[in-house]
A and B are shown apart, each in its own frame.
Chain A
Amino acid sequence: KNQVEQSPQSLIILEGKNCTLQCNYTVSPFSNLRWYKQDTGRGPVSLTIMTFSENTKSNGRYTATLDADTKQSSLHITASQLSDSASYICVVSELTGGGNKLTFGTGTQLKVEL
Protein backbone atom coordinates (compact mmCIF):
# COMPACT_ATOMS: atom_id res chain seq x y z
CA LYS A 1 0.00 0.00 0.00
CA ASN A 2 1.33 3.42 -0.97
CA GLN A 3 2.08 5.50 2.10
CA VAL A 4 3.50 8.90 2.96
CA GLU A 5 4.79 9.41 6.48
CA GLN A 6 5.79 12.74 7.92
CA SER A 7 7.77 13.70 10.97
CA PRO A 8 7.61 15.29 13.38
CA GLN A 9 3.86 15.31 13.88
CA SER A 10 4.12 18.75 15.44
CA LEU A 11 6.84 21.31 16.06
CA ILE A 12 7.17 24.56 17.98
CA ILE A 13 10.01 26.96 17.16
CA LEU A 14 10.90 30.54 17.95
CA GLU A 15 10.55 33.23 15.33
CA GLY A 16 13.71 33.63 13.29
CA LYS A 17 14.86 30.05 13.79
CA ASN A 18 15.23 27.44 11.05
CA CYS A 19 13.52 24.06 10.95
CA THR A 20 13.41 20.93 8.82
CA LEU A 21 10.41 18.73 8.22
CA GLN A 22 10.76 15.15 7.00
CA CYS A 23 8.77 13.00 4.59
CA ASN A 24 9.27 9.29 3.82
CA TYR A 25 7.23 7.53 1.19
CA THR A 26 6.64 4.12 -0.34
CA VAL A 27 4.69 5.30 -3.39
CA SER A 28 5.63 3.52 -6.59
CA PRO A 29 5.94 4.15 -9.47
CA PHE A 30 7.03 7.60 -8.40
CA SER A 31 6.05 10.58 -10.49
CA ASN A 32 6.62 13.68 -8.38
CA LEU A 33 6.62 14.99 -4.82
CA ARG A 34 4.94 18.14 -3.58
CA TRP A 35 4.97 20.16 -0.41
CA TYR A 36 1.88 22.12 0.53
CA LYS A 37 1.24 24.67 3.26
CA GLN A 38 -2.23 24.58 4.80
CA ASP A 39 -3.46 27.28 7.13
CA THR A 40 -6.14 26.21 9.59
CA GLY A 41 -9.53 25.89 7.89
CA ARG A 42 -8.13 26.75 4.46
CA GLY A 43 -7.19 24.77 1.38
CA PRO A 44 -3.56 23.68 0.85
CA VAL A 45 -1.28 25.96 -1.13
CA SER A 46 1.54 24.52 -3.20
CA LEU A 47 5.11 25.36 -2.14
CA THR A 48 7.21 23.12 -4.40
CA ILE A 49 6.87 20.28 -6.90
CA MET A 50 9.85 18.02 -7.65
CA THR A 51 10.21 15.30 -10.23
CA PHE A 52 12.51 12.28 -10.09
CA SER A 53 15.43 14.16 -11.61
CA GLU A 54 15.32 17.10 -9.19
CA ASN A 55 16.97 16.86 -5.80
CA THR A 56 16.38 20.38 -4.53
CA LYS A 57 13.98 23.21 -5.18
CA SER A 58 13.51 26.53 -3.44
CA ASN A 59 10.60 28.89 -3.04
CA GLY A 60 11.68 31.91 -1.05
CA ARG A 61 12.51 30.78 2.48
CA TYR A 62 11.34 27.25 1.72
CA THR A 63 13.79 24.69 0.32
CA ALA A 64 12.73 21.15 -0.48
CA THR A 65 15.07 18.25 -1.09
CA LEU A 66 14.37 14.87 -2.63
CA ASP A 67 16.32 11.62 -2.49
CA ALA A 68 14.45 9.30 -4.82
CA ASP A 69 16.78 6.40 -4.00
CA THR A 70 15.95 6.41 -0.30
CA LYS A 71 12.44 7.76 -0.92
CA GLN A 72 12.90 10.66 1.43
CA SER A 73 12.21 14.36 1.19
CA SER A 74 12.69 17.29 3.51
CA LEU A 75 11.35 20.81 3.70
CA HIS A 76 13.67 23.37 5.24
CA ILE A 77 12.26 26.68 6.44
CA THR A 78 14.74 29.47 6.98
CA ALA A 79 14.33 32.45 9.30
CA SER A 80 10.83 31.42 10.36
CA GLN A 81 8.05 33.96 10.69
CA LEU A 82 4.83 33.89 12.68
CA SER A 83 2.94 33.50 9.41
CA ASP A 84 4.73 30.20 8.81
CA SER A 85 2.51 28.65 11.49
CA ALA A 86 0.50 26.09 9.54
CA SER A 87 0.31 22.43 8.61
CA TYR A 88 2.89 21.31 6.03
CA ILE A 89 1.76 18.40 3.93
CA CYS A 90 3.95 16.14 1.81
CA VAL A 91 2.18 14.70 -1.23
CA VAL A 92 3.61 12.01 -3.47
CA SER A 93 2.26 11.35 -6.92
CA GLU A 94 2.01 7.87 -8.40
CA LEU A 95 1.93 7.61 -12.16
CA THR A 96 -1.03 5.47 -13.21
CA GLY A 97 -2.65 4.73 -16.52
CA GLY A 98 -5.24 7.36 -15.72
CA GLY A 99 -2.72 10.03 -14.84
CA ASN A 100 -1.15 11.05 -11.55
CA LYS A 101 -2.67 9.70 -8.33
CA LEU A 102 -1.81 11.69 -5.23
CA THR A 103 -1.12 10.25 -1.77
CA PHE A 104 -1.13 12.80 1.05
CA GLY A 105 0.79 12.64 4.30
CA THR A 106 -0.95 13.61 7.53
CA GLY A 107 1.15 16.77 7.80
CA THR A 108 3.48 18.40 10.29
CA GLN A 109 1.82 21.05 12.41
CA LEU A 110 4.29 23.93 12.79
CA LYS A 111 3.84 26.70 15.33
CA VAL A 112 6.16 29.69 15.32
CA GLU A 113 6.23 31.68 18.54
CA LEU A 114 7.72 34.97 19.64
Chain B
Amino acid sequence: DAGVTQSPTHLIKTRGQQVTLRCSPKSGHDTVSWYQQALGQGPQFIFQYYEEEERQRGNFPDRFSGHQFPNYSSELNVNALLLGDSALYLCASSNKSRLAGPYEQYFGPGTRLTVT
Protein backbone atom coordinates (compact mmCIF):
# COMPACT_ATOMS: atom_id res chain seq x y z
CA ASP B 1 0.00 0.00 0.00
CA ALA B 2 1.75 3.14 -1.23
CA GLY B 3 1.75 6.08 1.10
CA VAL B 4 1.73 9.71 0.05
CA THR B 5 4.26 10.41 -2.66
CA GLN B 6 5.61 13.75 -3.81
CA SER B 7 7.77 14.86 -6.70
CA PRO B 8 10.29 16.16 -7.23
CA THR B 9 12.32 15.62 -4.07
CA HIS B 10 14.39 18.75 -4.53
CA LEU B 11 14.08 21.73 -6.82
CA ILE B 12 16.10 24.86 -7.42
CA LYS B 13 14.49 27.84 -9.14
CA THR B 14 15.33 31.47 -9.81
CA ARG B 15 13.33 34.44 -8.58
CA GLY B 16 10.42 35.23 -10.88
CA GLN B 17 10.13 31.71 -12.23
CA GLN B 18 7.15 29.40 -11.82
CA VAL B 19 7.14 25.96 -10.23
CA THR B 20 4.79 22.98 -10.13
CA LEU B 21 4.93 20.40 -7.37
CA ARG B 22 3.05 17.11 -7.47
CA CYS B 23 1.42 14.85 -4.93
CA SER B 24 -0.26 11.46 -5.04
CA PRO B 25 -2.40 10.66 -2.00
CA LYS B 26 -2.39 7.47 0.01
CA SER B 27 -4.52 4.72 -1.46
CA GLY B 28 -8.15 5.18 -0.42
CA HIS B 29 -7.77 8.89 0.32
CA ASP B 30 -9.54 11.56 -1.72
CA THR B 31 -8.48 14.78 0.01
CA VAL B 32 -5.17 16.55 -0.38
CA SER B 33 -3.82 19.40 1.73
CA TRP B 34 -0.69 21.42 1.00
CA TYR B 35 1.62 23.00 3.56
CA GLN B 36 4.68 25.23 3.45
CA GLN B 37 7.33 24.65 6.09
CA ALA B 38 10.14 27.15 6.42
CA LEU B 39 13.33 26.04 8.12
CA GLY B 40 12.84 25.76 11.87
CA GLN B 41 9.11 26.47 11.67
CA GLY B 42 5.97 24.41 11.81
CA PRO B 43 4.02 23.73 8.61
CA GLN B 44 1.71 26.52 7.42
CA PHE B 45 -1.55 25.49 5.74
CA ILE B 46 -1.81 26.61 2.10
CA PHE B 47 -5.03 24.96 0.88
CA GLN B 48 -7.06 21.78 0.75
CA TYR B 49 -8.65 20.04 -2.23
CA TYR B 50 -11.35 17.46 -2.55
CA GLU B 51 -13.76 16.67 -5.33
CA GLU B 52 -11.37 18.60 -7.58
CA GLU B 53 -12.14 21.91 -5.87
CA GLU B 54 -10.30 24.11 -3.40
CA ARG B 55 -12.26 23.80 -0.14
CA GLN B 56 -10.18 25.70 2.40
CA ARG B 57 -7.34 28.17 2.04
CA GLY B 58 -4.77 29.59 4.41
CA ASN B 59 -3.18 33.04 4.31
CA PHE B 60 -1.25 32.67 1.09
CA PRO B 61 -1.32 35.03 -1.91
CA ASP B 62 -2.89 34.17 -5.23
CA ARG B 63 0.57 33.30 -6.56
CA PHE B 64 -0.10 29.96 -4.90
CA SER B 65 -2.65 27.92 -6.80
CA GLY B 66 -3.52 24.29 -7.06
CA HIS B 67 -5.39 21.63 -8.87
CA GLN B 68 -6.79 18.21 -8.11
CA PHE B 69 -7.26 15.58 -10.77
CA PRO B 70 -9.98 12.92 -11.05
CA ASN B 71 -7.55 10.31 -9.67
CA TYR B 72 -7.20 12.51 -6.52
CA SER B 73 -3.61 13.49 -7.23
CA SER B 74 -2.82 17.17 -6.88
CA GLU B 75 -0.48 19.89 -8.05
CA LEU B 76 0.72 23.01 -6.29
CA ASN B 77 1.74 25.88 -8.55
CA VAL B 78 3.68 28.91 -7.41
CA ASN B 79 4.13 31.85 -9.79
CA ALA B 80 6.60 34.73 -9.64
CA LEU B 81 8.81 32.98 -7.12
CA LEU B 82 10.31 34.99 -4.29
CA LEU B 83 13.33 34.16 -2.17
CA GLY B 84 10.94 33.76 0.76
CA ASP B 85 9.20 30.90 -1.02
CA SER B 86 12.18 28.68 -0.27
CA ALA B 87 10.82 25.96 2.00
CA LEU B 88 9.81 22.34 2.36
CA TYR B 89 6.42 21.86 0.72
CA LEU B 90 4.42 19.09 2.29
CA CYS B 91 1.41 17.29 0.92
CA ALA B 92 -0.96 15.45 3.23
CA SER B 93 -3.83 13.16 2.32
CA SER B 94 -6.97 12.21 4.18
CA ASN B 95 -10.49 10.97 3.59
CA LYS B 96 -13.23 13.55 3.00
CA SER B 97 -15.84 11.48 4.78
CA ARG B 98 -13.81 11.83 7.98
CA LEU B 99 -13.04 15.56 7.75
CA ALA B 100 -15.61 16.53 10.35
CA GLY B 101 -13.96 14.37 12.98
CA PRO B 102 -10.41 13.72 14.20
CA TYR B 103 -9.43 12.43 10.79
CA GLU B 104 -6.02 10.91 10.25
CA GLN B 105 -3.77 12.83 7.91
CA TYR B 106 -0.76 11.24 6.28
CA PHE B 107 2.12 13.40 5.11
CA GLY B 108 4.40 12.86 2.17
CA PRO B 109 8.18 13.29 2.37
CA GLY B 110 7.98 16.81 0.98
CA THR B 111 9.60 18.74 -1.84
CA ARG B 112 12.51 20.99 -0.89
CA LEU B 113 12.25 24.17 -2.98
CA THR B 114 15.18 26.56 -3.08
CA VAL B 115 14.73 29.93 -4.77
CA THR B 116 17.93 31.78 -5.67
Contacts and interface: CB of A to CB of B under 8 A. Distances in A.
Contacts of A41: 88, 109-110, 112
- The size bracket of the interface on A is 20 to 34
B102 A104 contact: no
Interface string A89-111: 10101011011111011110000
Interface residues of B, number: 27
Contacts of A73: none
Contacts, number: 63
A42 B45 contact: no
30 contacts: A4-B42, A32-B102, A34-B102, A41-B88, A41-B109, A41-B112, A42-B109, A42-B110, A43-B4, A43-B109, A43-B110, A44-B43, A44-B90, A44-B107, A46-B105, A49-B104, A51-B102, A91-B42, A96-B56, A98-B56, A99-B56, A100-B100, A100-B102, A101-B45, A101-B56, A102-B105, A104-B43, A104-B44, A105-B42, A106-B41
